[in-house]
Amino acid sequence: MVLIGLGLGPGDPELLTLKAIRILDESDKVFVPGKLALELVLPYTDAEILDFPMTHDKSILERTIDHNAEVVAAEAVHKLVAFGLIGDPNFFSTFIRLKNRIHEKYPDIIIETVPGISSITAFASRIDVSIDRSFVVSDGSQVGSKIVLKARTPKKIRDGLIEEGYIDFIFAEKLFTEDERVTDEIPNKGDYFSILYASKKE
C-alpha cells in the first residue's frame, strides 16, 4: 500500500509537525532506525526499532539494507506504514537507501516522504546564529547539488549553473500551497517564493 518516510524533527517531541503526529496516529505500523527516533515517536504511538549498524563494511551495509527492506515491505504491501527519522527524511537519512531498495524490489508500494524540521535549519535557533548569505552544508563528501532561493530568473540561473557542471534542474514554486508548481521545464520567470534545485551526476 503506502510507505511514508516521516520527518520527526531534530530531537524535541514538540518539534514534530501536526502532519507527522496525524500520520503516526493513522499508520498501521511505525518503524524507526534507533532509540532517539523512538523517543520522539513514543509520546504519540508505539514503534519498532530496526537496526542500522554504523559501519563502512559494504557487505554488512548491503545485508542490513536488504533485510530491513524486506521487513518494511512485508508490512507496507498491505498496510499504511510510517518510517520515522530524525530531522528530515530527504537529508542524509537512512530512509534514502531504504526507499531506493524497496522501490527496486517492490515497485507497487507507493513511497512518499513528509518533511520534518531538519537539524540543518534547527541548529541556528539553538546556537543563536542568523544566516542571510549563501552557505554550505557538508558531510565531507563532494558537493552534488545546489539550492537557489528567490529564483526569479530561473533560466538565466540555470545557464550559469551549467557552466559549474550542474546537469539536472527542477524548478519549484509556492510549494505546499494551492498554487504549487514543480517542473523540469525551467521557465524564464519565477515567483519570489521559488527554488531552483540543481544536481550533478553521482
Q: Which of 21, 62, 23, 61 is nearest to 43 (CA)?
A: 21
Work out which of 52, 92, 106, 193 binds ligand SAM, going by CB under 6 A: 92
Q: Is 84 near ligand SAM (CB under 6 A)? A: no
Shortest Å distance, C-beta 10 to ligand SAM? 4
Q: Which of 166, 112, 95 is nearest to 196 (CA)?
A: 166
Q: Is 11 near ligand SAM (CB under 6 A)? A: yes
How many helices (H) and strands (E) in the chain? 6, 9
Closer to ligand SAM at the Cβ: 34 or 187?
34
Shortest Å distance, C-beta 116 to ligand SAM? 7
Work out which of 10, 115, 154, 190 binds ligand SAM, going by CB under 6 A: 10
Work out which of 64, 68, 119, 194 binds ligand SAM, going by CB under 6 A: 119
Shortest Å distance, C-beta 93 to ligand SAM? 4
Closer to ligand SAM at the Cβ: 123 or 192?
123
CA distance 25 to 72: 18
Looking at residue 172, the DSSP 8-state letter turns out to be E
Give the SS3 label for residue 22.
helix
CA distance 198 to 168: 6
One-character DSSP codes across 31-59 = EESSHHHHHHHTTT---EE--------HH
Tell me how many residues contact ligand SAM (CB under 6 A): 13
- Binding segment for ligand SAM (CB under 6 A), chosen from 42-50, 82-90, 156-164, 178-186, is 82-90
Q: Is 118 near ligand SAM (CB under 6 A)? A: yes
One-character DSSP codes across 67-124 = HHHHHHHHHHTTSEEEEEESB-TTSS-HHHHHHHHHHHH-TTSEEEEE----HHHHHH
Closer to ligand SAM at the Cβ: 11 or 13?
11
Closer to ligand SAM at the Cβ: 118 or 194?
118
Q: Is 64 near ligand SAM (CB under 6 A)? A: no
Q: List residues near ligand SAM by CB under 6 A.
A: 10-11, 85-88, 91-93, 118-120, 123
